Amino acid sequence: MRDAVVPPDAIRTDRLELRPLGARDRDELLAYRSDPETCRFLPFAPQTAEDIDRYLATRAARRHLGETDSSLSFGVRLVGGGPLVGDVIVFVRSRVDECLELGWVLSPEHRGAGYATEAAAALLRFAFDTVGAHRVVARMDPANDASAKVAARLGLRREALLVEAERVKGEWRDTLYFAILEREWRAIPR
């Protein structure tokens, strides 16, 4: 895995553009990240304007991927200056094991159009081609069927169900793991 990676200004797909998040995204982020249903399976409660400002000034402001627990966040927009349809993140889970983790959140009005799969697929390409990851994982609440379907469409295999493995919003929660190795990802016909 490369020592430190600075992402391109944009990662493009046929329909989407993934760009680093910034102050211009604040109101659109707040619109869906303040929604209780959107946050139902996420590790955080519905967010306030202050939460979004703090996120944009800290985690979302990071511009390189290197050490364990470092991350890059991207806003996901429709190509051509369209609306923010969601955001995605890639974390370094283990530098020694060359393992990254992906996460995705979509606004309610943009779910069901394949945007999460398309954006996460772009992050997988970034993880394997640019960062040089050996393995990529996605963790989720086992009740989050939509995210499990995204992981499966990406070619990730269901790997483990950890019982009461994390305290989320004050409760012990199970965690479902999906994973894919670089060689598995390269073997998928495109």
6 within some domain: no
Q: What is the DSSP letter of 113?
A: S
pLDDT value, residue 53: 97
pLDDT value, residue 2: 83
Q: What is the DSSP letter of 126?
A: I
Structure-block tokens of residue 72: 């890059």
127 within some domain: yes
Structure-block tokens of residue 172: 């012990």
pLDDT tens, position by position, 129-142: 999 999 999 999 99
Closest-CA residue to 87 (of 62, 111, 107): 107
pTM, two decimals, is 0.93
54 within some domain: yes
4 within some domain: no
pLDDT value, residue 155: 97
pLDDT value, residue 140: 97
pLDDT tens, position by position, 96-126: 999 999 999 999 999 999 999 999 999 999 9
Domain of residue 108, CATH code: 3.40.630.30
Q: Specify burial of residue 66 (Cβ count, 10 A radius: 0-12, 13-18, 19+).
A: middle
- Separation of alpha carbons 62 and 79, rounded Å: 23
Within a 13 Å sphere around the CA of 81, how many CA atoms are in the beta-carbon half?
0
161 within some domain: yes
pLDDT < 50 regions, the chain: none
- Separation of alpha carbons 132 and 82, rounded Å: 31
- Classify strands 135-140 and 99-106 as parallel, antiparallel or unpaired: parallel
Question: Residue 182 belongs to what domain range?
Answer: 11-187
Amino acid at 44: F
pLDDT value, residue 190: 80
Domain count, the chain: 1
The SS3 call for residue 3 is: coil
